[in-house]
Amino acid sequence: ETGVTQTPRHLVMGMTNKKSLKCEQHLGHNAMYWYKQSAKKPLELMFVYNFKEQTENNSVPSRFSPECPNSSHLFLHLHTLQPEDSALYLCASSQELGQGADTGELFFGEGSRLTVL
């Protein structure tokens, strides 16, 4: 496999469920990102990890809990979500933040479409 892979592609969950989104990258990158994309809204940066350390939490509600066990994997744990959390969740990676090698070019997965009932 190459690139950035997200699973599942589609998820429907109730407000009391607990689920997780998974992202895996095979690009040898060290920075990974979660974005939220809602209809008719700009792309929202949620979390950023660099070498497994969280460097950015963009005031995301605690019902979203990220986990980055290594530079290749990123999870988004979901619990007690609200209907307004329904969106496309995009994972992305880049070489590494804070170093000259990183140019800001992001490589995106195809997204996980989440529907909260």
Partner 1 sequence: AQSVTQPDIHITVSEGASLELRCNYSYGATPYLFWYVQSPGQGLQLLLKYFSGDTLVQGIKGFEAEFKRSQSSFNLRKPSVHWSDAAEYFCAVGGRGSYIPTFGRGTSLIVHP
Stretch that binds partner 1, among 11-19, 59-67, 69-77, 84-92 (CB under 8 A): 84-92
Under the binding rule (CB under 8 A), the answer on residue 51 touching partner 1 is no
Which residues share a beta bridge with 6? Answer: 23
Q: Encoding tokens for residue 26?
A: 């095979």
Binding-site string for partner 1 from residue 10 to residue 49, where x marks contact by CB under 8 A and - marks none:
-----------------------x--------xx-x--x-
Compute φ and ψ for 38, nearest 5 degrees.
Answer: -100, 160
Q: How many residues bind partner 1 (CB under 8 A)?
A: 26
Q: Which of 38, 57, 82, 99 binds partner 1 (CB under 8 A)?
A: 99
Q: Encoding tokens for residue 22?
A: 């998974």
Question: What amino acid occupies position 65?
Answer: S
Residue 42's alpha-carbon distances to 17, 37, 38, 65, in angstroms, are 27, 7, 7, 21
Q: Which residues bind partner 1 (CB under 8 A)?
A: 4, 6, 33, 42-43, 45, 48, 56, 88, 90, 92, 97-100, 102-111, 113
